Chain A
């Protein structure tokens, strides 16, 4: 029996969410994403759709931390990255773009693009990179009896995981809150995520 830790629970949760929302993508669809600025813009829009977090929060107008660039650079290393962006680009103006492009009702075998999208979700929420191939193994009918591998992407990424804001919390060893916050009721969730 595997042991549940906070991280394995959150990992499983985010991965499951990805499975629900991400299906196989038709590689024939798409527009090019060769332009770096356009690629970044698409990446942010795609990330917003995948995570449910507004693009303006993933990409603030003044962003000294610039974690999006770190995440973008991480994701783009994967061979399926351009396919994912192209296919998202071709459908992004449609209201139900996630369902259409990601084929949420499809029973087809999941493609590399699907698992890459799941890795992107995990990256934004946990600040960690889970190789899509690892997620595929984890999602098989008989997943390996071992802890799923991941890496914390950077020092900054450790502090930037959206999971902390969703939980109205902060990562261990790092907080921007004022001294004595623990003696008062937590701030409302809307302060963290805007709703």
Chain B
């Protein structure tokens, strides 16, 4: 008890001290002011200055949230404006206006990335669906993680090189992408389970990155476990000569940042994508016209147990429809990255609509005719989770019954309407922004996540089972990715991609 009193007395003293002192304000997370090119440490060989940044911004901010927003018209010039190097904003920089600016940026990003790889604009895809192979599906622009983190730590092929097909895949099969079926392809983050659509098929997930991110990984040898350990040795903190965690210090993983210099000049920075797909019937699926689709080769490597092969590698052709689209973009004002997430509009209903009897469907991941007692929502499937050859879930009766826990904001709904109207007549009008997460106080000294806004963000196809608002347990891109590390146990700058590196010593 005496000890307790002495501790209490100390804290009383401490609190008493606070009572008579006032503290300086934390610096708010304002968008960074453009730097001059001469003093710009962000410009480098792997993050070069470019002159095609899309620096459009919302035309007007509102003074407060009760005032109707008078946004810039969402007009056709947006379709050709390109990929933003970083978001742009209009004052006053309130939480509400910044959120709107980030959401506007997300839609610009979505349009730029999903425009046809052949250089046309997004509404000029192949009729009647106006769909086309997108920019991010072209190896000249983005590369899949499975083609970067190679077996035995092999160095990835040079950027833009067509990746060799796995041996078991038919050489003459028409395809847009090869999906490597590994655990992360069907199992959600933290192994929370697969997602099974209303046809009993698995949803698949894939990760890609842009050249800036790829070059940083290759230049620093981060594509192998040994390379990551070697990289960490450069960190002065581990040699005892410094205890400062400086992003610029050697040995600290610090991907290049996007930034606006002026007008259309800037740097792009690292961008990574995570996408989700559903299997579609190329002939009988009536919903086919509503989705962006690709022809994919689903490659399953051979399986071994105790060093003995137990299953051959397989490779099958499937039509895949895009159901989820994450973009993570590191920028000068958001070193925690900006996290934009989109979904197909017919994925799931909002829980509030289900409660109100307004969820009529049809949905890819929800059966509106099934009663709650028969189809409890947001439940993980029964084991086993690994797909078989046919890519159908083993229990034919089980279908994921998924609802959106956190509803879209009114502002996002309005923005979606405007952009969807612009994309009318294309498959892209069937996609919606869910929200953009960004750091509201990027330089906060004790919150490395930069006080994310909004606090929680979940894509129902990619973080299905961690939706909600429970600290740490519920999905928050920045809070979760803050825990990402290399194989050497160093923070990996908000990306889990480096965990996929393999060892050059593996057999």
Instruction: Give the segment of B17-25, B51-59, B264-272 that binds chain A.
Output: B17-25
B202 CB to closest chain A CB, in angstroms?
31
Tell me, in angstroms, the Cα distance from A12 to B5 when the chains sit together: 9
Tell me, in angstroms, the Cα distance from A65 to B471 when the chains sit together: 11
Please tell me if B282 contacts chain A, counting CB pairs below 8 Å: no
Task: Report chain B residues within 8 Å CB of A16.
Answer: 8, 12
Please tell me if A148 contacts chain B, counting CB pairs below 8 Å: no
Asked if B15 and A178 make an inter-chain contact with CB atoms under 8 angstroms apart, the answer reads no
Please tell me if A109 contacts chain B, counting CB pairs below 8 Å: no
Show 13 A/B contacts (Cβ-Cβ < 8 Å), sorted by A. Answer: A1-B1, A4-B4, A4-B7, A8-B4, A9-B4, A54-B25, A56-B26, A57-B26, A62-B441, A155-B471, A165-B446, A174-B471, A179-B485
Please tell me if B246 contacts chain A, counting CB pairs below 8 Å: no
On whether A56 and B25 interact (CB within 8 A), knowing A1-B1, A9-B8, A64-B453, the answer reads yes
Asked if B21 and A62 make an inter-chain contact with CB atoms under 8 angstroms apart, the answer reads no
Asked if A166 and B490 make an inter-chain contact with CB atoms under 8 angstroms apart, the answer reads no
Residue of B18, B453, B470, B490 with most partner-chain A CB within 10 A: B18
Residue of B nearest to A164 (CB): B446
A96 CB to closest chain B CB, in angstroms?
11
Q: Mark B442-476, 1 if CB is under 8 A from A, else 0.
A: 00011111011111000000000000011110000
Tell me, in angstroms, the Cα distance from A62 to B470 when the chains sit together: 21
Task: Report chain A residues within 8 Å CB of B3.
Answer: 4
Asked if B448 and A57 make an inter-chain contact with CB atoms under 8 angstroms apart, the answer reads no
Residue of B nearest to A173 (CB): B472
A159 CB to closest chain B CB, in angstroms?
5
Please tell me if B482 contacts chain A, counting CB pairs below 8 Å: yes
Asked if B455 and A14 make an inter-chain contact with CB atoms under 8 angstroms apart, the answer reads no
Asked if B15 and A62 make an inter-chain contact with CB atoms under 8 angstroms apart, the answer reads no
Asked if B482 and A191 make an inter-chain contact with CB atoms under 8 angstroms apart, the answer reads no
**Total contacts A-B at CB 8 Å:** 144
Q: Mark B1-45, 1 if CB is under 8 A from A, else 0.
A: 101100110011011111111111110110000000000000000
Q: Mark A173-195, 1 if CB is under 8 A from B, else 0.
A: 11011111000110100011111
Tell me, in angstroms, the Cα distance from A57 to B237 when the chains sit together: 31
On whether A176 and B448 interact (CB within 8 A), knowing A9-B4, A13-B15, A158-B471, the answer reads yes
Task: Report chain A residues within 8 Å CB of B8.
Answer: 9, 12-13, 16
Please tell me if A17 contacts chain B, counting CB pairs below 8 Å: yes
On whether A17 and B26 interact (CB within 8 A), knowing A62-B98, A174-B471, the answer reads no
**Chain B interface (Cβ < 8 Å from any Cβ of A):** 1, 3-4, 7-8, 11-12, 14-26, 28-29, 93-95, 98, 237, 243, 245, 440-441, 445-449, 451-455, 469-472, 479, 482-485, 489-491
Tell me, in angstroms, the Cα distance from A155 to B451 when the chains sit together: 16
Task: Report chain A residues within 8 Å CB of B454.
Answer: 64
Asked if A184 and B237 make an inter-chain contact with CB atoms under 8 angstroms apart, the answer reads yes
Tell me, in angstroms, the Cα distance from A75 to B15 when the chains sit together: 21
Task: Report chain A residues within 8 Å CB of B484.
Answer: 179
Task: Report chain B residues within 8 Å CB of A20.
Answer: 12, 16
Task: Report chain B residues within 8 Å CB of A166.
Answer: 11, 14-15, 18
Asked if A155 and B489 make an inter-chain contact with CB atoms under 8 angstroms apart, the answer reads no
Asked if A9 and B483 make an inter-chain contact with CB atoms under 8 angstroms apart, the answer reads no
Asked if A54 and B22 make an inter-chain contact with CB atoms under 8 angstroms apart, the answer reads yes
Asked if B19 and A155 make an inter-chain contact with CB atoms under 8 angstroms apart, the answer reads no
Asked if A62 and B95 make an inter-chain contact with CB atoms under 8 angstroms apart, the answer reads yes
Task: Report chain B residues within 8 Å CB of A57.
Answer: 23, 25-26
Which of A48, A49, A156 is the one whose CB lies under 8 Å from B471?
A156
A195 CB to closest chain B CB, in angstroms?
5
Asked if B470 and A53 make an inter-chain contact with CB atoms under 8 angstroms apart, the answer reads no
Asked if B448 and A174 make an inter-chain contact with CB atoms under 8 angstroms apart, the answer reads no
Residue of B nearest to A14 (CB): B15
Task: Report chain A residues within 8 Å CB of B14.
Answer: 166
Task: Report chain B residues within 8 Å CB of A193.
Answer: 18, 23
